[in-house]
Each structure stands twice: as C-alpha cells, then as structure tokens.
Structure 1
Amino acid sequence: MTVRALAAPVWRSLPWRALAAAGGPGLLLAGAARLPDRAPDPELGRLLLRLTALAGALGLAFLLDDPARRTTAATPVGRASRAAVRLALAAPVAALWWTAALLLVPAQSRPALTPATVEAAATACTALALATLAVRFTDTAEVGKGAAVWLGAAAGVTLLVPDRWGLLGTPADPWWQATQLRWAAVLALTLTLCATGTREPVRRRSRRPVRGPAPSGY
C-alpha cells in the first residue's frame, strides 16, 4: 500500500469529533472579543487567542489515535509515513481554523500576528509531540486522552512560572523578546520530538537459551 493510497482511509479515520469538540469552543473564545460594549484591548485579544490555541491543541492531541493500529502496523508503509499523511491532511484544516480565529478577534484587539501564530504553533506541536511519544513508547491505540491530560498539566505548570522566566509575557514587559525566544525554542524542540519519535523502534531480538548438542542414541 502506497502513501497516496493511504490518504482516503486516513482521512476517514481522522478524529473529526475530537477536533470539532475542541475547535468549536476555541472559535467561540476568539469571538468573545466581539461581545457588545467591549472596548478594544490587545491584551484581552492575546489572552483569548492563547486560550483558543490551547483548545485547538487539545483537539490535535487526538490526531494520532488509530483504533486499527495493530492492523496498520503490518502495512509496508512505515509509522513515519502514516503520521506524515495524517499531519498533511490535518494541517490545511488547522491553518484555516487558526485564520478564522484571528479574524474573529477585532483588528483593534488583535495582537501582532507573528508572535501569536508562533505561540499557537508551539502549543499545537507540544500536543503532537506528547501524542507521538505515547505512540512510540506504548501499545495504546488511542493516545489522545493521555496526551490531552499531559498538555493540560503543562499549561497549568506554565501558569505557575513567573512571566520573567515563563511563556506568558506581554509586549509591555521588558522580557518580551526573551519570552518569544522561549516560544521559538519550544516549537523547535517539539518539532524535533515529532520528527524523531515517529521512527520505527528497533525491535529487540528475543534471547533464546543456547541448547547443547542432543545426546546421541545408543
């Protein structure tokens, strides 16, 4: 089975319910900036977009769920190729979703697009990296729930880190550039984990006891 032949069945097997369940509320969060009688506030827009990105990433945590994992593992197409097909199919949808989220925030309340998009990409790649590691080191077919829990825990820890050394600074802070560098580092690290974690694990050869020569008959 070629990679192209995998596209149609993989498209049907993508976790659309989980993606919609996370993406829908995410867009509602972004649209909250348009509530009546709300004054333009870029910091509110930044907060809403960060929450929107987290909601979308929680949905992407389920992207590698494959109920037929034990069946697809026997195909001639490797794990990296199967994951790449899933990502290639989901990436345009995710890009359109993020574009819609940005447009839902009024221009007067919309933060700078590049930092916001880097933060969203790093959050999404964190979810994918957690799911990738779960696929690599466990036999679980559906790793999304665990990856989503770990992502939520990571978000909670991020809230506890002071902005001076954390990821939640704002342009008004003197360490804003350092915050953006940390987001870029998170993006680079999680992309690396995704790329290296999809490689097929080396199977250990089972060790069989060495038997001596059979005794000759009399």
Structure 2
Amino acid sequence: MTRALAVPVARTLPWRTLGGAGALGLLLAASPALVASGEATPWQALTLLRAAALTGALGLAFLLDDPARHPTTPVPVGRAHRQALRLALVAPPAALWWTAVLLVTPERARPPAGAVTVEAAAIGALTLACAAAAVRWSEGPRPGPAVASALLAVAVLAPPLVPEDWALFVAPGDPRWAAAHERWAWLLAAGAAAWALCAPEPVRLRVRPRRTSRPAGTA
C-alpha cells in the first residue's frame, strides 16, 4: 500500500517551494565565501546557519499542503500514514541539503555541527507539528501560508521575550551553550510528540439511533 501511494503523494509535494527555500538557505550559508574576503566570525556563521535553518523550516511549513484534500476519493490509509509518507519522501533530500549547508560554511567559523543540527531539527519538527495541527483543526487544503507566517512571527518576537536563563540562541563560547541545547533537544521531542498527536484524523463520536418502541400487536 505504501509503495502504491508513494508516486501519487510525491506528485502532490510542494517541490518548488521546498527547492526555493533550500536554495535560499544554501545561499545564506555560503554568503561569506562568495564575498571578496571570504571571512566570517563564528557568531556571523552561526547566525547565517540559523537563518538557513529557518528558511528550510519555512519550506517545510508547506509540506502538508494538498489542493486535492477534499475532492479526491478517500484512501484506505490514515492521515498520519500519509503525512509520514510525505516526510519520508522529503527527509533524504533535506538531510543532503543540510549537509551541504554545513559544508559551505567557512570551516574556521563553523560552529559545532551536532548542536546546530539539533536546533535545525527542532525548528523543523515544531513547524511540522504546527502544520499537522492546522490540518487537523481546519478544513483548508493549504495551511502552509498561515504556518509560515506564524513561524516568522515567533522567530522575530519570541527571542527578546525569553528570559536570559532560558535563552536558546547563544554563542558556542557562552556558558549557557550546553544547557541551551538540552532545551533544543526537548523542543525537538515536543515537536515530534505534537505531530504524533495531531497527525491522525479526529475521532468523531457516532450517535446511535434511538430504538422506538413498537405498538402492541405489530410484527
């Protein structure tokens, strides 16, 4: 069943949006190498990597868009299965893209790859969870624009409001670096759990018809 669905699902994926977001993220990460000096400070490189992760997440916000959500004939697999299939089709090129983003970052200024990858994965997981929630609680076939707008709003407004003790966007030399990435790991787990809860179709209560008593003497 999964193999039979793979090709139709792949055709409905927003490849242009994902490709555009990926190209922009790659360009951001490679920008220090494209200028004349080719130099970047560790903080600049980290900021560009975080910007690249955000652009990738913006593309991921459109992953669950499906213009044919309502007109198509129901398929014998659940929504969670179909969403997982979409993610499975996108995951390999996304992993290659993130590897390329890390490689084009100047080596001398490159932050710890594992820690930054956790940040990017957490942002992607939370974005996917928001998209799944939008699909679950709305009837619109294209939740992507609303999810992308919300992601941008949070990325701009949330960091200044977070207390310093709970800061997430810290520099590698900051004493809070390890603690911040523990929080990123928790956010990654929370995003995955939220997607698991929101991906299935909502359970609809079935109202059983009331039995009416038959008049005496009827068959």
Cα distance in 1 between the residues matched to 2:114 and 2:164: 20
Residue of structure 1 in register with 2:30 after alignment? 31
Residue of structure 2 in register with 1:81 after alignment? 81
Residue of structure 2 in register with 1:155 after alignment? 155
Residue of structure 1 in register with 2:55 after alignment? 55
Q: In the alignment, is residue 167 of structure 1 matched against residue 168 of structure 2?
A: yes
RMSD of aligned alpha carbons: 2.1
Q: Which amino acid aligns with 1:159?
A: P
Q: Which is further off, 201-210 or 165-174?
A: 201-210
Q: In the alignment, is residue 145 of structure 1 matched against residue 145 of structure 2?
A: yes
Residue of structure 2 in register with 1:201 after alignment? 202
Residues 126 and 151 in structure 1, CA contact (< 8 A), matched pair in contact too: no
Q: Which amino acid aligns with 2:27?
A: L
Relative to structure 1, the CA distance from residue 162 to residue 195 in structure 2 (aligned partners, 3 Å threshold; closer, same or farther) is same
Residues 134 and 143 in structure 1, CA contact (< 8 A), matched pair in contact too: yes
Q: Which is further off, 150-159 or 50-59?
A: 150-159
TM-superposed deviation, 1:21: 2.3
Q: Which is further off, 25-34 or 38-47?
A: 38-47
Residue of structure 1 in register with 2:68 after alignment? 68
Residues 111 and 172 in structure 2, CA contact (< 8 A), matched pair in contact too: no
TM-superposed deviation, 1:158: 2.9
Q: Which amino acid aligns with 1:193?
A: A
CA offsets, 1:3-45, max 9 Å, x none?
Answer: 2101001111100121122111111110112122143422111
Residue of structure 2 in register with 1:191 after alignment? 192
SS across alignment from 1:70: coil
Aligned residues: 216
Identity %: 48
Cα distance in 2 between the residues matched to 1:73 and 1:98: 36
Cα distance in 2 between the residues matched to 1:109 and 1:162: 27
Unmatched segments (≥5 aa) in structure 2: none
TM-superposed deviation, 1:70: 1.8
CA offsets, 1:36-86, max 9 Å, x none?
Answer: 214342211110000000000000000011111124571101111101110
TM-score, with normalisation over the residues of structure 1?
0.91
CA offsets, 1:102-126, max 9 Å, x none?
Answer: 1111111111100010000001111
Cα distance in 2 between the residues matched to 1:73 and 1:150: 31
TM-superposed deviation, 1:188: 0.5
Q: Which amino acid aligns with 1:138?
A: S
Residue of structure 2 in register with 1:22 after alignment? 21
Cα distance in 1 between the residues matched to 2:208 and 2:170: 54
TM-score, with normalisation over the residues of structure 2?
0.90
Relative to structure 1, the CA distance from residue 73 to residue 171 in structure 2 (aligned partners, 3 Å threshold; closer, same or farther) is farther
Residue of structure 1 in register with 2:125 after alignment? 125
Unmatched segments (≥5 aa) in structure 1: none
TM-superposed deviation, 1:159: 2.3
